[in-house]
């Protein structure tokens, strides 16, 4: 079986099988085969042919061959993955974000990792042909990913370790040489992720740290909009605005929130003078509104959807095995700052309840298992830690109506919904009242 973008293709025998993907830009993804990951770089309006020999006696990695406009690019990524033994440089780079390194020492280590990848690209280019447009894109992607990661280190350490690095700290001097408005980088996803981090940094002391979900995302964008409009121009500005508004659309939980976002979008309409982008943003908005109008959450008393997820030791768990206990589910991810900020308060809550009849379950939407395991160890995250394998993330987001994280759900002893948008650990008094009320009820 082959899996890509949560689509599964069953291959019962030798033959030719087709899988269609929606793509508007060059994009690197992975496909899974025999429990291993392999690169798949695609471009719009192209047919990529992948030959795979599924004979278990042979080396699958060596048997894969690509043909098409991006065939040579996929060969590059396959060799790169083999050379570095990871798909995402964030996995080794995360090792240098802990407080065992100063922020300056960590930054140097991170720079060295990205320099190794750039060196690999240049050496590969000497021996094998790569399209010039791709080589430039890969250089830009590495450059902005590096800059974005160094910003993310500070945001994470401020959240995890309660450090307080200010925006005027000399650490950020490296930004003086980073091009902010760079139309040449418009195809780089890491460029736009860097821009979001960069503008977030400019007003880092103005945000309400108690906000989560839509309220937080909306507030941050509203505060940063004047700076975005001033510092960016042309395609860069249009694409970033469209990207941010589309993303925040999916954080909405009630129709009134989309109305607020619509009002903010109207204030920047003159800057997105591209009918295709405006239509794309509005289509995302309408699709989200339709979901919200039809149903936005599980109702009290409904049976909670089942899951089958693995823990740190690879053991699989189902919801029904906790019948007879209250269940407090936290949906989270290692890249979610509000999720991480809540960990100490949740750990305290778990200690206070001890062995009482309540199970605390943390369900992660992380793609990289190594990062998830490291975070649990570093932050000493209490409770039962589970991760979504395969397409379980999409299944649970759909069945539990999850638009953003963190998301907390409280179930009764029969596995039925008490509150599908339960109080967070930060609202301790409110949450304890709710838990104690149902803990004391007789079945």
What are the E-state strand segments in 307-389? 308-310, 316-318, 326-332, 358-364, 384-387
pLDDT of amino acid 256: 82
pLDDT band at residue 46 under the 50/70/90 scheme: confident
First to last CA, the chain: 44
pLDDT band at residue 232 under the 50/70/90 scheme: very high
Q: Collapsing DSSP states into helix, strand and coil, what is residue 49?
A: strand
Q: What percent of the chain has pLDDT over 90?
A: 42
Section 175-195 average pLDDT: 95
Q: What is the pLDDT of residues 266-309, one digit of tens each?
A: 888 888 877 777 888 888 888 877 777 766 678 888 899 999 89
pLDDT of amino acid 298: 81
Rg of the chain over Cα atoms, rounded to whole angstroms, equals 23
- Asked if the model's pLDDT at residue 246 lies above 70, the reply is yes
- Asked if the model's pLDDT at residue 10 lies above 80, the reply is no
Of 21-30, 52-61, 216-225, 251-260, give the range with the top mean pLDDT. 216-225
Q: Higher pLDDT residue, 274 or 103?
A: 103
Q: Collapsing DSSP states into helix, strand and coil, what is residue 140?
A: helix
How far apart, in whole angstroms, are the C-alpha atoms of residue 28 and residue 31? Answer: 10
pLDDT of amino acid 439: 83
Q: What percent of the chain has pLDDT over 70?
A: 91
pLDDT band at residue 368 under the 50/70/90 scheme: confident
pLDDT band at residue 72 under the 50/70/90 scheme: very high
Q: What is the pLDDT of residues 313-356, one digit of tens each?
A: 888 899 988 988 999 999 999 988 889 888 999 999 999 998 77
How far apart, in whole angstroms, are the C-alpha atoms of residue 226 and residue 148? Answer: 21
pLDDT of amino acid 156: 78
231-238: long-range pairs with CB below 8 Å, 24+? 231/180, 231/181, 231/199, 232/180, 232/181, 232/195, 233/181, 234/183, 235/183, 235/186, 236/181, 236/182, 236/183, 236/185, 236/186, 236/195, 237/181, 237/271, 238/271, 238/272, 238/273, 238/274, 238/277
With CA atoms as reference, report the closest residue to 212 among 332, 85, 102. 332
Q: What is the pLDDT of residues 147-156, one digit of tens each?
A: 999 998 888 7
């Amino acid at each position: 079986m082959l899996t890509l973008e949560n689509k599964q293709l069953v291959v019962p025998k030798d033959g030719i099988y087709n899988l269609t993907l929606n793509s508007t830009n060059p994009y690197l993804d992975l496909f899974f085969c025999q429990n291993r990951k392999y690169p798949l770089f695609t471009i719009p309006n192209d047919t990529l042919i992948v030959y795979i020999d599924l004979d278990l006696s042979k080396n699958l990695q060596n048997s894969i061959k690509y043909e098409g406009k991006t065939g040579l690019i996929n060969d590059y990524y396959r060799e790169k993955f083999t050379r570095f033994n990871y798909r995402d440089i964030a996995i080794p780079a995360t090792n240098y974000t802990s407080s065992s390194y100063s922020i300056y020492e960590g930054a140097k280590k991170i720079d060295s990792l990205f320099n190794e990848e750039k060196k690999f690209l240049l050496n590969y280019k000497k021996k094998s042909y790569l399209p010039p447009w791709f080589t430039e894109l890969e250089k830009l992607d590495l450059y902005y990913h590096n800059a974005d990661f160094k910003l993310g280190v500070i945001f994470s350490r401020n959240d995890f370790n309660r450090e307080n690095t200010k925006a005027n700290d000399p650490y950020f001097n490296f930004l003086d040489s980073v091009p902010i408005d760079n139309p040449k980088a418009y195809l780089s996803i890491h460029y736009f992720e860097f821009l979001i981090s960069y503008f977030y940094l400019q007003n880092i002391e103005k945000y309400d740290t108690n906000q989560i979900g839509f309220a937080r995302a909306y507030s941050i964008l509203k505060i940063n909009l004047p700076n975005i409009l001033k510092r960016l121009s042309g395609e860069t500005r249009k694409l970033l605005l469209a990207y941010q508004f589309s993303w925040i659309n999916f954080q909405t939980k009630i129709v009134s929130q989309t109305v607020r976002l619509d009002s903010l979008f109207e204030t920047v309409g003159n800057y997105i003078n591209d009918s295709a982008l405006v239509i794309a943003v509005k289509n995302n908005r309408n699709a989200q509104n339709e979901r919200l109008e039809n149903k936005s959450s599980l109702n009290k008393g409904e049976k909670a959807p089942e899951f089958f997820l693995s823990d740190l030791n690879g053991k699989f768990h189902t919801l029904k095995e906790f019948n007879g206990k209250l269940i407090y589910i936290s949906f989270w991810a290692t890249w979610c700052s509000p999720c991480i900020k809540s960990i100490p308060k949740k750990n305290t809550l778990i200690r206070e309840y001890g062995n009482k009849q309540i199970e605390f379950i943390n369900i992660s939407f992380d793609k990289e298992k190594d990062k998830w395991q490291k975070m649990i160890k570093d932050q000493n995250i209490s409770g039962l830690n589970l991760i979504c394998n395969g397409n379980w993330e999409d299944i649970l987001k759909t069945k539990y109506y999850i638009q953003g994280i963190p998301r907390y759900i409280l179930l009764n002893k029969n596995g039925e919904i008490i509150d599908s948008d339960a109080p967070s650990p930060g609202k301790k008094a409110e949450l304890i009242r709710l838990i104690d009320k149902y803990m004391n009820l007789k079945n």
